[in-house]
Structure 1
Amino acid sequence: MSPQNHEALCVEIHETNHFMEGLASRTQLECRKIGEKYKEMYGEELVHLLENRTRSHKDETRISGEACAGLCMLVVNPHERDAITAKEALDQQSGVNYKALIEVFVGRKSSHIVLIQQAYQKKFKRQLDHDIISIEPSHPYKRILMALAASHKSHHADVSQHIAKCDAQRLYQTGEGRLGALDEAVVLEILSKRSIAQFKLAFSSYKKIYGHDYAKSLKNENPGGFEDAFKEVVSHICNPSKYYAKALYASTQGTSMDTRALARVMVSRAEIDLDQIQSIFKQKYGMKLKDAISESTLAEDYKVFLIALANKTDTDTSCK
């Protein structure tokens, strides 16, 4: 996208609210450059303009809070975006959004987690690890998050087949290979010492040794308990595209209160695996993601934004 086009889009953003498709169709690098160009032209951060538009009394420029949040995700850098996601997840009035936090700690490299923590401290004058420690002491997701945070600090970059096999055997012995509930302490110990890639290799070894996915060994006898929470994490580690397709479907159908999950997932995965997520979505639910968005009860401008994101990676040209 040329500097001239950057300037033209900045003018459109400044004067109207008909810019969502134009911005959402760009790469995230282009969006950040557009944000820089906007500040150069108007002396104001684009994020501030968007936030003010949610409170505007001018019908022709007003945008919904959901659309604003999604657009802001595009124009900030990835680690700042994740820092904001983490803070919003911790501060939700309805309770901590643990799944949003899990997305950050499972779906990001350790080098990125360090940048997120730095951005969090710079923006909010607080430490992310300390804020996680301060949430509900008995909640299973908290204990998992603390183990994941420790793993990002302690693990080695290389993965080992031998360690994966040993971890698989230990997971069996502390889970389906023993009577009673899963030994939480052992699971958290392993999780706190392994990278996500190493843990994923352990699950692959588990299937080779015992003939089925590790997730199938986790019982659902105690909804909201540790095994239930850990099963969500395992699903995310083993098949993130399938995990996200399920999360997006829940948001489009109104079965999830987290409507911002759509923008959060689609922006963060747009340049990773959103095409695969959309393919799984169609296979699993019999409809395209953008059709599910179109038929949802979401705000109209939010739909426009999300559909533009979906169109960037929708490689299925059939039935259009």
Structure 2
Amino acid sequence: MGVGWEKLRLLLHDQSKSLRERGTIKAKANFNVSEDVAALRKAIEGIGTTEKTLIDILTHRSSSQKQAISKAYLETTNRILVNDLKGDTQGSLEDLLVALARPPAVNDAKCVLSQTSAIHGAGTDNNILIEILASRTNKQIKELSAAYAEETKKTLIQKLKTEVSGDFGKAILLLAEGARDESTNVNADKAREDAKALYHAGEKKLGTDESKFIEILCKRSIPHLRQTILEYKNISGKTLQKSIEKEISGDLEELLVAIVKCVMSTPAYFAEKVYKSMKGAGTDETTLTRVMVSRGEIDMLDIRAEFKKLYQNSLFKEISSDVSGSYSDSLKMICGED
């Protein structure tokens, strides 16, 4: 299951933990925007790019500091920092530095945009859409939607309605509204009721009532769902994840499993993503970059801890042995020490 049941019980009693800063990318003390702009200009405009400077600045400033840098860079040079980074670096390093320089919501919107542009009926891989909508908070989804509308002049919901259908479509649209219940109070009786409803909609029934799974997993609060998952195990003797895998298939199964994994532990969910991106022949650098950048400021410390627990190896070591050069150096900066 990745995360022990005992840990889940503890999580139920420690909701405040999720509010603390668990990122490795933090705001720089004594931040000086004009010094940073001057250093970036020198690195970009000099003969041959000084990648070390770019990496150092972009991995050691908070998102809001980087937006201040981008704004000042535009005012001083009349050029867009992201475009200069694109012109000056290449490959995976370019993708990583550009993502670090952009606001998180813009990165999410661009990822979703690339995915929705690629959605053409059955057989399309919806994994990025699933990852983003299953793991983001209401606030992050609202920000992503605003960035998406800014970029495309269409709302995310409008676009998705033309792209996804069936039960998977219903679930995706519910999540894209960013309207998950956010109360932190857990009523054990209500959680038990939901657990029973899920049991009767799946394991206990001939055929599956997918709509019940969608309603509960896409709308209820995270603390409530943690309790529901515990109650479900008590009622059915099985984990909810196992039941979903047995009862539901295709994209909907993947989405609901992703939600359950994120409810249990978002860091463990991302530790698994990062591991899979490096496992086997060749590295999925797109996924590796997306996860490292999107979680760098949020919960990378926890992802590192989960990675070590799940795979008996440090994330730092895994990155060192899997990728090389400046791209590897940047990822290791985001990862933080061993």
- TM-score bracket, shorter-length normalisation: 0.7 to 0.9
Conserved 8 A contact 1:32-1:74: no
Contact map agreement 1:90 1:97 (CA 8 A) in 2: no
Cα deviation, residue 221, structure 1: 7.8
**Distance in 1 (alpha carbons) for counterparts of 2:247 and 2:184:** 36
* 1:231-310 alignment, distance < 5 Å: 231-254=257-280, 258-296=284-322, 298=323, 300-310=325-335
Quick one: which amino acid aligns to residue 148 of structure 1? L
TM-score computed with the length of structure 1 as normaliser: 0.80
Moved more, 183-192 or 120-129: 183-192
**Superposition map of 1:1-320 within 5 A:** 1-3=31-33, 5-15=35-45, 16-18=49-51, 19-22=53-56, 23-53=58-88, 62-64=89-91, 66-92=92-118, 97-137=125-165, 141-150=168-177, 152-153=178-179, 155=181, 157=183, 159-161=185-187, 162-178=189-205, 180-210=206-236, 212-220=238-246, 224=250, 226-254=252-280, 258-296=284-322, 298=323, 300-311=325-336, 314=337, 316=338
1:147 Cα shift?
Answer: 3.1
Give, as a single letter, the amino acid of the residue that structure 2 aligns with 1:90.
T
> Matched residues, percent identical?
27
Alpha-carbon offset, residue 72 of structure 1: 2.3
| Higher RCO structure, 1 or 2 (CA under 8 Å, sep 6+) | 2
Structure 1 stretch displaced more, 39-48 or 180-189: 180-189
Total equivalences in the alignment: 300
Tell me the amino acid that sits aligned with residue 162 of structure 2. S
Gaps of 5+ in 2: 1-30
Deviations 1:149-179 (A, max 9, x none): 35x337464544143222111111112233x
Contact preservation (8 Å) 1:182, 1:227: no
Letter aligned with residue 70 of structure 2: G
Paired letter, 2:114: E
Distance in 2, Cα, partners of 1:257 & 1:234: 26
Q: Distance in 2 between matches of 1:196 and 1:240?
A: 11
Find the aligned partners of 2:117 and 2:274 in 1 and give their Cα distance.
22
Report the CA distance shift for 1:198/1:98 in structure 2 as closer, same or farther (over 3 A). Answer: farther
Instruction: Kindly state the Cα deviation for residue 248 of structure 1 after the two structures are TM-superposed.
Output: 0.3
Residue 245 of structure 1: how far off its partner (Å): 0.7
Contact map agreement 1:278 1:288 (CA 8 A) in 2: yes
- 8 Å CA contact 1:35–1:46 kept in 2: the answer is yes
Asked if the contact 1:67/1:301 (under 8 Å) is kept, the reply is yes
Gaps of 5+ in 1: 54-61
Q: Deviations over 1:295-320 (max 9, x none)?
A: 22x57332222121112xx4x5xxxx
CA–CA separation in structure 2 for the residues paired with 1:282 and 1:237? 20
TM-score by length of structure 2 reads 0.76
Per-residue deviation, 1:33: 2.4
Equivalent position SS for 2:90:
coil
CA distance in 1, matches of 2:259, 2:240: 12
Specify whether residues 154 and 310 from structure 1 end up closer, same or farther in structure 2 by C-alpha distance, changes over 3 A only. Answer: closer
In structure 2, the residue corresponding to 1:182 is in which secondary structure?
coil
Structure 2: distance between partners of 1:96 and 1:45: 34
Native 8 Å contact 2:195 2:232 kept in 1? yes
